[in-house]
């Protein structure tokens, strides 16, 4: 699903008359998506039913302390690691490996993936899931960057303040992508 969504946004960007920031162009964006796709598809990561836009603002805590997911229009079959990493990369300033690992352990437990396994095996499986998620971190930033530049390109009548805000969001996510893309190659080697 992520590839379809990226292709649709990139097509809109290519067809747009809007000018992109000087440090990036359509060909660069398209090539980065191509590289990510080649590495991820070759690794053959699991695809499952996912939320599609998993982030803290799309999780509600109800009065009985249960959770409810909202904003499901992007849900569908996608890479598990991509969906889970979107939740955890949302605020890089407060990211904690310890809480990330605990979350993935609970995720594993919720889906009964821990039955009849030793602590050592459980830890190894959760560490493998954490590695899978980290490999997707660059793609989560790239997808977000493309989304914000897509918003700029998709509207000819965007207010100047909104355009500037979306350009800033694009730039921040593009920088985060640049800073994290080593994970894609590093983790698959």
Cβ burial of 37 (10 Å; 0-12, 13-18, 19+) is middle
The average confidence (pLDDT) of the chain is: 86
Residue ranges making up the domain that contains 124: 2-188
Q: Are strands 59-61 and 47-50 parallel, antiparallel or unpaired?
A: unpaired
Strand-pair category, 59-61 with 76-79 = unpaired
Per-residue pLDDT tens over the stretch 155-174: 878 898 999 999 999 999 99
Q: What ranges in 44-159 are assigned the alpha helix state H? A: 80-88, 97-110, 119-154
Model pLDDT, residue 127: 87
Phi and psi torsions of 23, nearest 5°:
-90, 0
Which contacts (CB < 8 Å, 24+ apart) does range 32-39 have?
A: 32/142, 32/177, 32/181, 33/3, 33/6, 33/7, 33/142, 33/146, 35/184, 36/138, 36/139, 36/142, 36/184, 37/3, 39/184, 39/185, 39/188
How far is 163 from 156, CA to CA, in rounded Å? 10
170-184 per-position pLDDT tens digit: 999 999 999 999 988
| Total of domains in the chain | 1
Burial class, 121, CB count within 10 angstroms (exposed 0-12 / middle 13-18 / buried 19+): exposed
For residue 79, the domain's CATH number is: 3.90.1200.10
pLDDT-based confidence at residue 39 (cuts at 50, 70, 90): very high
Residue 168: per-residue pLDDT: 95
75-117: pLDDT as tens digits:
889 999 999 898 887 666 667 888 888 888 887 777 655 556 6
**DSSP conformation class of 163:** H
């Amino acid at each position: 699903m992520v590839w379809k969504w990226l292709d649709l946004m990139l097509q809109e960007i290519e067809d747009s008359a809007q000018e992109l920031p000087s440090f990036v162009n359509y060909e660069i964006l398209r090539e980065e998506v191509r590289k990510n796709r080649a590495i991820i598809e070759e690794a053959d990561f699991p695809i499952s039913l996912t939320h599609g836009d998993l982030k803290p603002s799309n999780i509600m805590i109800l009065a009985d302390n249960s959770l409810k997911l909202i904003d499901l229009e992007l849900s569908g079959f996608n890479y598990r690691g991509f969906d889970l990493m979107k939740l955890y990369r949302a605020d890089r300033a407060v990211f904690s490996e310890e809480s990330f690992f605990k979350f993935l352990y609970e995720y594993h437990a919720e889906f009964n993936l821990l039955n009849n396994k030793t602590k050592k095996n459980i830890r190894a499986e959760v560490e493998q899931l954490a590695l899978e998620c980290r490999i997707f971190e660059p793609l989560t930033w790239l997808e977000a960057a493309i989304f914000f530049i897509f918003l700029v390109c998709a509207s000819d009548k965007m207010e100047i303040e909104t355009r500037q805000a979306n350009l800033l969001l694009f730039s921040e996510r593009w920088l985060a992508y640049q800073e994290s893309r080593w994970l894609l190659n590093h983790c698959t080697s």
